[in-house]
A = this chain, B = another copy of it.
Amino acid sequence: MNDKIIITIGRETGSGGKNIGRMLSEKLGIGFYDKELIQIAAKNSGLCEEVLETYDEKPTSSFLYSLVMDGGAFGNNLPLNHKVFLAQFEAIRHIAEKESCVIVGRCADYALAENPDMISIFITGEFDDKVASISKNNNISTDKAKDFVNKTDKKRSSYYNFYTGKTWGAAKSYDLCLNSSILGYDGCVDLIIDYINKIKK
């Protein structure tokens, strides 16, 4: 049995994926990487923190950018959001090589697709629950929270689909998909641990 555990978590906005990831990492006693990733990526890529922050999970879909991905037409002059993506991509691989961990968002499942220790999870939730959570945690109105959930999921979807060539939120893109509105955060953590125990046997 291999003891290394790398868990990537994709999540709908407001579904609690980040909290579930943090709780899971605490229960397993392994590292947790979300925004922290950006700081690590910053150190090695030479990009300044402000740029990394500004272009974090920013989607793109222009034809010019797809040329970049295909042929490298821009050489070292890649658009900044691509540089940020690549810096995070490298950081994720470096972290996963080094230690067991939970990584939230940033197409980590794609960066680690070839890593046999990777377990990819996706967390969904009922729309009303997600809106209530965002509204409460950010102290904004229900209408603003609805708008935020819709727009953020649209951005995440576009970012993921562009970079990975897979479909964000499609069952087939992940190993295991759970609904936090049904299981609760604790229930999700417990079921993910059951899952890990089964496949690591």
Which residues of A pack against B, CB within 8 Å? 12, 122, 124, 169-172, 174-179, 182-183, 187, 190-191, 194-195, 198-199
- With a cutoff of 8 Å between Cβ atoms, the chain B residues found around residue A177 in the complex are 122, 171, 174, 176-177
Indicate how many identical chains form the complex.
2
How far does the alpha carbon of A169 sit from the alpha carbon of B12 in the complex, in Å?
A: 16
- With a cutoff of 8 Å between Cβ atoms, the chain B residues found around residue A122 in the complex are 171, 177
How far does the alpha carbon of A199 sit from the alpha carbon of B124 in the complex, in Å?
A: 16
By the criterion CB–CB under 8 Å, are A176 and B178 in contact? yes
| A/B interface sample: 5 pairs, CB < 8 A | A172-B179, A175-B179, A182-B199, A191-B194, A191-B195
Q: Name the one of B172, B178, B191 contacting A169, with C-beta atoms under 8 angstroms.
A: B172
**Top 7 closest pairs, chain A to chain B, by CB:** A177-B177, A171-B177, A124-B172, A194-B194, A171-B171, A122-B171, A124-B171
Whole-angstrom distance between the Cβ of A126 and the nearest chain B Cβ: 9
How far does the alpha carbon of A169 sit from the alpha carbon of B173 in the complex, in Å?
A: 10
